[in-house]
Chain A
Amino acid sequence: MNERLLGLADDELVIGWRDSEWTGIAPVLEEDVAFSSIAQNEIGHARAVYRLLTDDPDALAFDRPLEEYRCAPLAELRLLDWAHTIARRWLYEEADRIRIEALMRDADPAVAGLAAKIDREEAYHRMHAELWHARLRDEPRFREAVRELWPYALGVLPPEQRAELAARVELGEVPAVERGTHTDELAELWEEMTSVRRSAPAGARW
């Protein structure tokens, strides 16, 4: 159970971190503001899930060695172009919906309750992703990005949930890029993410 929740939290943390990179440089000012809210929501979800697992969410978010993070490679990729970023958003939301729906039926009421809260907020993320998907679906850059990221998207979910994802996005199942091996990009992200925190010894207050 911990692994599954940790995977969810780490996905949200890392994709939230990646999405926050667009704050200030998104293609349209109005979108910049909206997109930043999504990034903040994801970090908020990560924090809430960490709180189910620990009393110190910051320690869990920042202080683990790289190998102990359970995020999927899809979240780790540094995608500083809009076509890939939006393709990832859309694919991730579709995968995440399946995962969250399952968690909403969890036997543990704390988990089910949190999943329901996350789901209510994700509804807006899905609206946003669908808006962009509808606009860009015929744009070659977007289609190419979806094609490239599709194996990674499948890797967000356990094998038994992948057929459903494939049906929802109307793409054929392909071999997934699985969790378990981290990309170099996560190492770079982690370096930057933890640089200020690691710079100070015990007793530091932020």
Chain B
Amino acid sequence: MIWEVFRCERKGRPFEHAGSVVAPDADFAEAWAREQYGRRGESAALWLVPRDAIRDVESWADEFDLKYRRVDGYSIKARLKEARERASARTR
């Protein structure tokens, strides 16, 4: 069985995919992943997940331009410039 190994470098950090080990069960996977991904104390924690348990999600529909949901969908430079100009004109 292939076990995917996710490691957390320090408490509070996200778990990141680090690699995989081939092992017959969770106990062997643990014994082996501990050393391959932690013998230098480089991991605070590991998650071991059988590859088969992982569902791959890789594509999204993006047919309509839904920029309002994203940061790059807002361009405020031009309007901000105009608003500042109007504000300074009012105070003169």
Contact = CB atoms under 8 A, between A and B. Distances in A.
B63 interface: no
Interface string A28-48: 101101101100000000000
Interface residues of A, number: 12
A34 B22 contact: no
Dominant secondary structure of chain B at its interface with chain A: helix
A30 B32 contact: yes
B20 to A, nearest CB: 10
A143 interface: no
Contacts of B23: 30
The 8 A-B residue pairs with the shortest CB-CB distance, nearest first, are: A30-B32, A34-B35, A37-B35, A33-B35, A30-B21, A34-B32, A37-B39, A33-B36
B5 to A, nearest CB: 11
Nearest to A36: B35
B31 interface: yes
A169 interface: no
Interface in A116-175: 124, 127-128, 131, 135
Contacts of B27: 131
A31 B35 CA distance: 9
B76 to A, nearest CB: 54
Contact of A31 (B32, B34, B39): B32
Nearest to B37: A33
Nearest to B22: A30
B31 A128 contact: yes
Contacts of B35: 33-34, 36-37
24 contacts: A28-B22, A30-B21, A30-B22, A30-B23, A30-B28, A30-B32, A33-B32, A33-B35, A33-B36, A33-B39, A34-B31, A34-B32, A34-B34, A34-B35, A34-B36, A36-B35, A37-B35, A37-B39, A124-B34, A127-B31, A128-B31, A131-B27, A131-B28, A131-B31
Contacts of B24: 135
Contacts of B28: 30, 131
A33 B37 CA distance: 10
Interface in B17-50: 21-24, 27-28, 31-32, 34-36, 39
B34 A30 contact: no
Given A36-B35, A127-B31, 4 more contacts: A33-B32, A37-B39, A124-B34, A131-B31
Contacts of B31: 34, 127-128, 131
B80 to A, nearest CB: 57
